Chain A
Amino acid sequence: MSFSDVPTIEAVKLTKQYGPFTAVSDLNLKIEGAKCVGFLGPNGAGKTTTLKMFTDLIRASSGEALINGINVHTHKKAALASVASIIETPEIYPSLTPREALTMIAEYRGVPAAEIKKRIEESVAEVHMSEWIDKRVGKFSKGMKQRICIASTLISDPCILLLDEPTNGLDPRGMSEVREIVKSLKGKKRLIFMSSHLLSEVSEICDEVAMIDHGKLLVYDTISNVTSKFSGGANMVEVELQRPIDPQLVTQRIAKLSSVVSAEQTNDTNLRIRFSGGLDVQARLLSDLVKMNIGVISYRVAASELEDVYLNLIKETV
């Protein structure tokens, strides 16, 4: 698998039943290309179960979990060769050091022997655990172990990452660092499929979102399309500025830009702009704002919009 091929994960009528309880029901979902997709749903919706079927931790009752077109259950080694994952909160053998545990994973994954040391040191440095690299894992806190697990996903340069609530157990700084790592991986043309309870996290990191409840897929689309589709055709972006903005500029110029429905100033340096349209409009709006030379330092789909959509969709299925 090389990056000239398009990384793909696909669920085909994927179903998982535990006796009479259906955890995942007839899930059809195809995600392809280098992007980050957030996987949202309430507790017990089937997110982790789905990710476990993609990593051979559990078997599907029916249907198929395909990675780059290869069935995970029947051809596990080939399917998972290009995948790294963190499912739930993995534990590492307590008597091993991070260096040893990561060497084990690197060897399993076939990282060339000459590169293992360098890659491990780089990935451990990326999660800020270098000074602990030769200490035994048994003494680590939950957050430290989670960082080592994140480092384990980096050592083999996988083209697909499956992350089940990767910031779970981390302190705020750790959460922020993990988000930065995931963002940097996006830049390296990976397909990242990430479940999360944190809607702000998803809207900050992800390009697309898949929502699931009661084991059924509710929606899969770009975040802007989802928010647009389920919020009366309007999307909202949050804009952060480097310096305070003149309120008149907001009401007289920004609010009157093409496709803008409304613009409000939430404080001196933050705006909330509601617009109608999809990604094209969103991109044009950013371009217009930059041309105004108002010092745009951040521009993203408003988390509250995603939250509204999420709450509406989940409510509908209850």
Chain B
Amino acid sequence: MNETETISDNKVPSSMAQVGISMRYTFLEYIRSRRFLIVLIITLLIAALLTIIVAWRRPEGFLVSNLGFYSSWWGLSVTFVIILTGIFFGGDAISGEFQNKTGYFGIPNPVRRSSIYVGKWLSAFLAATAILVVYMAITIANGVYYSATITGFGSGLPIQFVYSLLYAWFYLAAVMGVAFFFSSMFKSSSISILVTVILLLFGFSLISELVSDLVGIEPWFVLTYGAGIIGNILQSPYPPAKTVTTTPFGHGRTFTTTTFAASVPQGLAIIGVYFIVTTILGLLLFERKEFT
């Protein structure tokens, strides 16, 4: 070992630099892990399934227009891919530090917990972005093929798709925030993943439908409602803010459902609030959590 009698040549880096260190090594862990491979395979399966369906069945909704293709393909499936990556990379990002005891290796060093948290968040976001990019590339490849070769309505990317991409990326940040929040709340990886799965895959949608369809209240407080802008921007014209549907079901009785569509500013605001609030709350929870 170094026989030097001082440690004065060791200068602890700034917290910002330590965020980079945390991010680098957590990202390395993510991309080498089996979970990255699993998410990638699931994403490729979804893309392959859509490719086969469109090639074989030629659904009208996909091939009616350039925008229609992206609306049907990307608009309907990308939120699921985003939630999937959020769950896989964020669901146990913090709880795993407690359950797997990896926190005992990193935390007792001269590094703030916030640096570790932000580093892990960024690495999870990067890993999820990599998956999203793969899905986007397959979407665009299919889009270009059907647009130019089959329908002849031009191969250019509709500007609405570029907006949708940006909204999707922003939504990914909010989903990651939610996943990190629950991951910080629990010390058990399985519980934190389960709660995140239930809420993101079923809970939000259920709440949203219950309050809008049955009670007629706009679900402005639900993240998935805000995320509706990812698909809505691909529709022309943009869906109306409120649609009331009355369905007769015999003996003069009717059943009324109300569907809301968030405007782009409203959707961005909802996503932004979820991103900021959950990320900060997750950080505060992690700061206070004890390795007992």
Name A's B-contacting residues (CB within 8 A). 1-3, 18, 52, 55-59, 76-83, 85, 87-96, 100-101, 103-105, 107-112, 115, 119, 122-123, 126, 136, 149, 152, 154, 156-159, 162, 188-189
Q: What separation, in Å, do the CA atoms of A61 and B6 have in the docked complex?
A: 34
Is B102 touching A90 in the complex (CB atoms < 8 A)?
yes
Cβ of A183 to closest chain B Cβ, rounded Å: 13
**A1, A18, A109: most-surrounded residue (chain B CB, <10 A):** A109
Majority DSSP secondary structure for residues of B touching A:
loop
Contacts of B106 in A (CB 8 A): 104-105, 108
- The size bracket of the interface on B is 35 or more
**Inside 8 A of A189's CB, which chain B residues have their CB?**
5
Map CB proximity to A onto B1-18 as digits: 1 under 8 Å, 0 otherwise: 111111111111101001
6 new A-B contacts, CB < 8 A, other than A58-B290, A90-B102, A159-B7, are: A55-B108, A83-B108, A83-B110, A90-B101, A91-B102, A95-B29
Known: A91-B100, A96-B29. A2 touches B105 (CB 8 A): no
- CB pair A95–B28 under 8 Å, yes or no, is yes
> Top 8 A-B pairs ranked by shortest CB distance?
A55-B108, A90-B104, A95-B32, A57-B291, A90-B105, A58-B290, A93-B29, A2-B6
Closest Cβ–Cβ distance, residue B284 to chain A (whole Å): 14
Could you list 21 A-B pairs, sorted by A, with CB under 8 Å?
A1-B7, A55-B108, A57-B107, A57-B291, A58-B292, A77-B112, A81-B110, A83-B108, A87-B104, A89-B104, A90-B102, A93-B25, A95-B32, A105-B105, A108-B12, A110-B12, A115-B2, A119-B1, A119-B2, A149-B105, A157-B10
Q: Are A109 and B10 in contact (CB under 8 A)?
A: yes
Q: Which of B12, B33, B104 sits near A77, CB closer than 8 Å?
A: B12
| Cα-based distance from A149 to B106 in the complex (angstroms) | 11
B26 within 8 A of A: yes
**A100: which of B28, B100, B113 is its contact (CB, 8 Å)?**
B28
Total inter-chain residue pairs, C-beta < 8 Å = 138
The answer to whether B130 has its CB under 8 Å from any CB of chain A is no
Interface residues of B in 277-292 (CB under 8 A from A): 288, 290-292
CB-based nearest B residue for A75: B110
Contact with A along B129-168 (1 / 0, CB 8 A): 0000000000000000000000000000000000000000
Q: Inside 8 A of A77's CB, which chain B residues have their CB?
A: 12, 15, 110-112
Give min CB distance, A189 to chain B, whole Å: 7
Contacts of A79 in B (CB 8 A): 110
Residue of B nearest to A125 (CB): B1
Report chain A residues within 8 Å CB of B44: none
Which A residues touch B103, using CB under 8 A?
57
Q: How far is the CB of A144 from chain B (nearest CB, A)?
A: 14
Are A92's CB and B110's CB within 8 A? no
Contact present for B290 and A59 (CB under 8 Å): yes
Given contact pairs A2-B6, A2-B7, A108-B18, A88 touches B110 in the complex (Cβ within 8 A) = no
Q: A214 to chain B: closest CB distance in Å?
A: 18
